[in-house]
Amino acid sequence: MLKDGVPTTNGWLFIVFLVLALTTTVNPIINNKYFTILWYPLVALYGLWVLYRLLYGEEDAS
């Protein structure tokens, strides 16, 4: 997730996931009555995808 002290692509994806997951309950757009039906499954799928990339995905080539 870090290479030479700088976040890699996977590191940034994980940071975005943490921000989305932690701010879900206080974000007024996400707290819309119907949007939450889609939001939670999408965040869960994104989290699983990030986890897969962290465990099995290719790291940055640079």
Number of domains in the chain: 1
Tell me how far apart the alpha carbons of residues 61 and 59 are, in angstroms, rounded to a whole number.
Answer: 6
Kindly give the confidence (pLDDT) of every residue in the chain, 62 residues in length, as a single tens digit, with 9 standing for 90 and above.
667 777 787 778 888 888 887 887 787 777 777 887 888 888 889 888 888 887 887 655 44
For residue 27, being part of any structural domain is answered with: yes
Strand stretches in 4-56, DSSP E: 6-7
For residue 46, being part of any structural domain is answered with: yes
pLDDT at 59: 59
For residue 62, being part of any structural domain is answered with: no
Helix axes 35-56, 9-23, angle to 10 degrees: 150
For residue 61, being part of any structural domain is answered with: no
Give the domain range for residue 11.
2-56
Amino acid making up residue 29: I
